[in-house]
Amino acid sequence: MKVPLKWLQEYIDITLPATDLANRLTMAGIEVGGIQVVGGNWQNIVVGQIVAINPHPNADRLTLPTIDLGTERHTVVTGAPNIKVGDKVAFAYVGAQLIDGHTGQLSRLKSAKIRGVVSNGMACSEKELGISDSHEGIMLLPSEAPLGAPLADYLGDVIFDLEITPNRPDCLSIIGIARDVAALTGQGLHLPEISYEESASHIGQQISIEIVAPDLCSRYCASLITGVKIAESPKWMQQRLLACGMRPINNIVDVTNYVMLEHGQPLHAFDYNRIGSKEIIVRRAADNETIVTLDGIERILSGDMLVIADKERAVAIAGVMGGANSEVSEETTSILLESANFNPASIHYTGRTLRLPSEACMRFERGIRPELTLPALKRATQLIIRLAGGEAANGLVDEYPGKLDRAPILLSTSQVTRVLGVEFSLDQIVGVLTSLGFACKTSDSKSEVSVTSPYWRSDIHQAVDLIEEVARITGYDKIPDTMLSQPLPKQNPEPIINLKKKVRRSLTSYAFQEVITYSLTSLEMLNRLLPEPHPLEPMPIRVANPMTADQEYLRPNLRANLLTILCANRRYEDGGIRLFELGRVYLPRQQDLPEETEVLCGILSGPRLVKSWHSGGDLLDFFDAKGVMEGLLSQLGVEASFEEGSDESLHPSKQAALVIAGNRLGVIGELHHKVRQAFEVYEPVYLFEIDLTALLPFTTSYKMFQPIPRFPATVRDLALVINTGITHKRVQDIIKGFPLVNQVAIFDVYAGEQVPPDKKSLAYRITFQSTTHTLTDEEVNRVQRQILDKLSSELGATLRG
Amino acid sequence: MLKQLEEIKSTALQELEDISSIKELKSWPVRYLGKKSELTKILRSLSTLPLNERKNVGAYANKVKVNLENSLDQKEQVLREAELAASAKRKVIDITLPSRPFPTGHLHPITQTLYEICDIFVSMGFQVVEGPEVEWDYYNFEALNIPKEHPARDTMSTSWIDCENESGERPMLLRTHTTSVTARIIETMQPPIRVVEPGKVYRYEASDATHTPMFYQIDGLAVDKGITMADVKGTLYEFARRFFGEDRKVRFRCDYFPFVEPGIEMAIECLVCRGAGCRLCGNSGWIEILGAGMTHPQVLERGGLDPEIYTSFAFGMGIDRLPMLRYGIDDIRLFYSSDIRFLRQF
């Protein structure tokens, strides 16, 4: 909402500098988003009058107007075709700052000789003054412009750009703002006096109103003005409309817009003679009923929308836009002026559905009060008669099916203290509310007041609404800052939040960079994860109104996004890339919100170490991924094992399932080559993934402390030759099963020349240790023999010679 | 005999004196203290001497032996120190060469910010809770005084889930704010309540330098007997003080959110111009940080809490802007582009 201060000053004396006023309004909830100074650089520009126009001796297209400034006269050279003697213009002295009509840059006016004649100053166009883009002719000022007055005084203004919150439609008006300024500054309001002559013929004989849908139209008022003459509205009105961002049309339409800006009540003017049956019917549209709106576009309506109609047809979409069939035109002589109140939700729905946001819509959908219709209607009728002539029919029509009695609200000082945390006296409270136009009735009680909200306020329903008024007008800075003084509530932290934190911190300690990606993805991306195409099961959850095709489905996994990122980062990063995301995936459930599961997914590829003058380029591989998983699970105190995996996106023989207490809760593996190619990655990629939601129950117990050994350990190395197909884990499990074996580490895996075909050599370092005594060689030898016997009998292992 | 010992001693010590490296030192003890040395021979031949001479010569020979051993130790130490010093001089490293880099990982700047904010509120007795991102219209809007066709819905363009109920309405959406968790908490928890609710939120909006269709928010809620607007001011002021620094000015002004009354907007003095007005703050000198207010009685009541007994405050803020302000990041899309050249800076 744009508010020119000169207009505002018509209703309230402004005693503060503009920036201070802006600050007061902002603090009180009416945010001044911008302050525009019109004519801020109009020094040396004054109002002048053309007293003579002589031809230029050397040029047919140029003339030499003489401009009277009251105390002096100047002759200038101009090419403008639109001037005549008696016109008032803006005269710029040499030295004035003007916008160059051709370059658009601000420049200083110099004395110039044009075709042999010196031009001492200049009559300005709107563009040169920065008022509009019009550069066709010289800007003509209203005849009442005071001769010789600085243009900045006459036309200059300060315009506030206000951001009005949805609860304050009353502030979508100059008078509404004036009311808040009055309360904030203590100045009195002076509102326009409304009166006009009425003719003898009663309006009721010339138009009838029927509200068929009272749920959507609580009130419908109208006046009738006959004998009007359509013309341009006066300059001052056009300027105000332009300053507020509205386009002048003609005197009738301009008045409706002007009064809407002034009072906040949208109005609509019908050409009375084009209302066929002289009946106004306020009804729901029929499904698929059509109407051509003022902008010439045919609109298809539905039964949820409200129209203004005569007997035959709709003549307007109520509160949204008028119909072309009843539009005020140059031939119009009689005006039926509508001032009505429509259901906010219905207007919002209609405006949104037809994509017709308008100034009127914006006011109705925020819920203006029906009491506003009459003052606005009378004011507009008065202005139409003043600007377009004609006379008003006797009386107004006023159908008011939605009349509500608003009960006063009881407000006590203790309620105010309870909410604001600071005491206000009843006098202070009543003072603030009265200044805003609330009617306050105090009784014998010194602590309670009965408050009725003024007819323009639609946002006051209960005591807290009044308390906010007290707080915002007094100033939030008058409320102290205190810390909560109540006892601390019990805390029941959600374990998953803690787990997520631990996992994130752990992953960064393994040099993984956290990423956050969009939760929405596309089927195309998800399909890239399938080496052999097949329908996704279950289908991911679709968004009904996707913004873009690549954000249509809620992700059922984190993989696709991570691989996309890997590809993007690979373009400029040739070092190792380790990324993880910890976030939710969304799995559909019948008739319910989706299951949101917390998943950890990581990918790694490229060199293991940062390439430097110290180290070369060993590549990350499966066992790095496994190491991260094991490290993480160990930090979480979870016992896990790895079993053969079956994830279709992973390499069939280079993957493992993570198994915890018999549950498969994750995977690690090398990405299937078809999958990584689909993501345009051309190097091996390793991936790990854990369902953290499922893991959570296994992370909540504590791992018990292991005493630090007091007796020395004995270390033995065993090199075994064994069939290729036997896994390390089987060997390790056997060795670990023996008493005194504290640790088993594999330190070499070899297959090749010195080992028979189909065999491999595994070298183990076994640490023997007792918690009760220092081991003797004999003890260790005995266990080692037993180990070898068992490895030999169960796995066919032999000692390597 | 004694004279011979004296000679051995002085020759040995003289020779020791002349040795200048550990290497040369190795043969010296062989020569003078070894099995075949003169001194050892004398010590071995002691038994052949007459008893009175044996005692004198024996004592002296041992004295010489100890003397030589000590001298050797001393010499060795001197030589070792000299060699260390020389080697230290020789083996100077170029400390300006780059380090052997350890690969490092970083938390996402949004995560870091969220954890920092949560820690501040946890220290004031708030508990961190989370709620669903795919939400019912009810918790996102209706429960918060935003019925269908309310203009406040226009400011939060919504992505709807493709699923309709019997009346043809779409009941599920991607939550547009974490205030939906506030609605759930009011319904499920019993006062006293102090919670903060971080998480992802979604808007049906095209991306640009200041908008992304997904971003982060944190909401907060306190419900108890006797909570006032002074408490919300104090709590949020304390947050701002800890997050933005002691000397950063804070401003509370009236604003409107359907689920609070009175409504508050908190702004901090602009980080660039410190209040003078610049492009970052739109010339206002202030940067809006969060919305807050006293929880609307209807919202409490709808969730089953009696507003006559309890008062409550609520607040909500966008997270992404905070690291943007702190680090001077000018494009919000960088957070979700996952460019590691960006992410590893934090």
> Does residue B229 sit within a domain?
yes
Give the closest residue to B296 by CA, choosing from B320, B314, B275, B316: B314
In this prediction, residue A613 carries a pLDDT of 77
The SS3 call for residue B323 is: helix
A489 and B214 in contact by Cβ < 8 A? no
Residue at which a domain ends, from B32, B60, B90: B90
Distance between B173 CA and the closest CA of chain A, angstroms: 8
Strands B193-202 and B127-128: parallel
User: Which segments in chain A show pLDDT lower than 70?
Assistant: 616
Name all contacts of B65-71 with Cβ < 8 Å and 24+ positions apart: B65/B33, B65/B39, B67/B9, B68/B9, B68/B12, B68/B13, B68/B16, B68/B32, B68/B33, B68/B39, B69/B33, B71/B12, B71/B13, B71/B16
Instruction: Find residues 77-116 of chain A whose CB sits inside 8 Å of chain B.
Output: none
Please state the domain extents for chain A.
Answer: 2-39+158-185, 45-155, 198-399, 409-478, 495-699, 714-799
Q: Is the pLDDT of residue B139 over 90?
A: yes
Domain containing residue B177: 109-343
The answer, for B275 touching chain A at a CB cutoff of 8 Å, is: no
Structure-token match 């309620």, residue found: A415
Q: Give me the residue from A27, A494, A609 closest to B129, CB to CB.
A: A494
Is B159 touching A (CB cutoff 8 A)? Answer: yes
pLDDT at B271 over 80: yes
Q: What is the pLDDT of residue A155?
A: 85
> Which residue, A55, A58, A60, is CA-closest to A75?
A55
B204 and B280 share one domain: yes
Facing B230 at nearest CB: one of A365, A422, A593: A422
Query: Tell me: the pLDDT tens digits for B11-37?
Result: 888 888 888 888 888 888 888 888 888
Task: Give pLDDT, residue A376.
Answer: 97
Residue A466: closest CA among chain B residues belongs to which residue?
A: B262
The whole-angstrom distance between B104's CA and the closest CA on chain A is 4
Measured between CA atoms, the residue of chain A closest to residue B298 is A462
Judge whether A714 and A766 are in contact, CB under 8 Å: no
Instruction: Locate A239 and state its tokens.
Output: 């300027």
- Minimum Cα–Cα distance from A465: chain B residue: B261
Query: Which chain A residues in 207-226 lie under 8 Å from chain B, judged by CB atoms?
Result: none
Q: Kindly state whether A702 is in contact with chain B, defined as any CB-CB distance less than 8 angstroms.
A: no
B47 pLDDT tier (thresholds 50, 70, 90): confident
Which chain A residues are Cβ-neighbours of B339 within 8 angstroms?
A: 568-569
Q: Is residue B205 part of a domain?
A: yes
In a domain, B176, yes or no: yes
Question: What are the CA-CA distances from residue A363 to residues A96, A358, B235 (Å)?
Answer: 42, 9, 36
Q: Is B151 in contact with A166 (Cβ distance < 8 A)? A: yes
B185: contact with A, CB 8 A cutoff: no
**Structural domain count, chain B:** 2
For residues B72 and B124, membership in a common domain is answered with no
CB within 8 A of A254, min separation 6: which ones? A233, A237, A238, A241, A248, A387
Instruction: Say whether both B287 and B330 belong to one domain.
Output: yes
Q: Are residues B37 and B181 in the same domain?
A: no
Asked if residue B102 belongs to a domain, the reply is no
Look up tokens 């909402």; give the residue.
A1
Amino acid B344: pLDDT: 92
CATH number of A409-478: 3.30.56.10
Please count the residue pairs, one from chain A and one from chain B, whose beta carbons lie less than 8 angstroms apart. Answer: 265
Topology of the domain comprising A45-155: OB fold (Dihydrolipoamide Acetyltransferase, E2P) (2.40.50)
Q: Specify the pLDDT at position A457.
A: 96
Query: Do residues B284 and B159 share a domain?
Result: yes
CATH number for A714-799: choose from 3.40.980.10, 3.30.70.380, 3.40.50.300, 1.10.3210.10: 3.30.70.380
Contact between chains at A610 and B162 (C-beta distance less than 8 A): no
Task: Output the CA angle B335-B336-B337, nearest 5 degrees.
Answer: 100
* Residues of chain A neighbouring B344 (CB-CB closer than 8 A): 513
Chain A residues inside the 8 Å CB shell of B311: 418-419
- Range list of H helices, A366-425: 373-388, 413-420
Last residue of a domain, one of B57, B90, B123: B90
Q: Which residue of B has its CA nearest to A27?
A: B253
Contact between B262 and A471 using a beta-carbon 8 Å cutoff:
yes
Cβ burial, residue B75 (10 Å; 0-12/13-18/19+) = middle
Q: Three-state SS for A326?
A: helix
Gap from B279 CA to chain A (nearest CA, Å): 12
Contact status of A779 with chain B (Cβ, < 8 Å): no
Domain-embedded: residue B299: yes
Which among A472, A519, A572 has the least Cβ separation from residue B133?
A519
Same domain, B121 and B47: no
Quote the percentage of chain B above a pLDDT of 90: 62
pLDDT value for A362: 93
What three-state secondary structure class fits B255? coil
Place of tokens 């031939």: A331
Collapsed DSSP state (helix, strand, coil) of residue A179: helix
Q: Which CATH architecture has domain A2-39+158-185?
A: 2-Layer Sandwich (3.30)
The A residues from 394 to 433 touching B (CB cutoff 8 Å) are 417-422
Quick check: is B103 in a domain?
no
CB contact under 8 A, B227 and A486: yes
Cis bond before residue A538 (omega within 30° of 0) = yes
Fold matches, A45-155 and A495-699: no
Architecture per CATH, domain A495-699, reads as: 2-Layer Sandwich (3.30)
In Å, how far is B86's CA from the nearest CA of chain A? 26
B287, B327: one domain? yes
Reference A388, options A330, A472, A464; nearest CA is: A330
Q: Which two tokens stand for residue A730?
A: 């089987």
Long-range contacts of A298-303 (CB under 8 A, 24+ apart): A299/A354, A299/A356, A302/A353
Alpha carbon distance A174, A376 (integer Å): 13
Cβ distance B105 to A544 less than 8 Å, yes or no, reads no
Residue B97 covered by a domain: no
Reported confidence tier of residue B339, pLDDT bands at 50, 70, 90: very high
Q: Is B196 on the interface with A (CB under 8 A)?
A: no
Q: What is the pLDDT of residues B146-184, one digit of tens each?
A: 999 888 888 889 999 999 998 889 999 999 999 999 999
Least confident of A342-351, A466-475, B64-73, B91-100: B91-100
Q: Do A483 and B231 touch (CB under 8 A)?
A: yes
Helices A251-263, A174-185: axis angle to 10 degrees equals 30
Same domain, B304 and B235: yes
For domain A198-399, give the CATH number: 3.50.40.10
C-beta atoms of A513 and B344 within 8 A? yes
Residue the block writes with tokens 């002034």? A262
Shared domain for B190 and B243, answered yes or no, is yes
What pLDDT, on the 0 to 100 scale, is given for residue A727? Answer: 92
- The answer to whether residue B234 is domain-embedded is yes
Which of B222, B261, B343 lies at the smallest CB-CB distance from A465? B261
Preferred mutation among A464, A491, A508, A598 to probe B, highest tally of B CBs within 10 A? A464
Of B59, B90, B121, the position where a domain reaches its end is B90
CATH number of B181's domain: 3.30.930.10
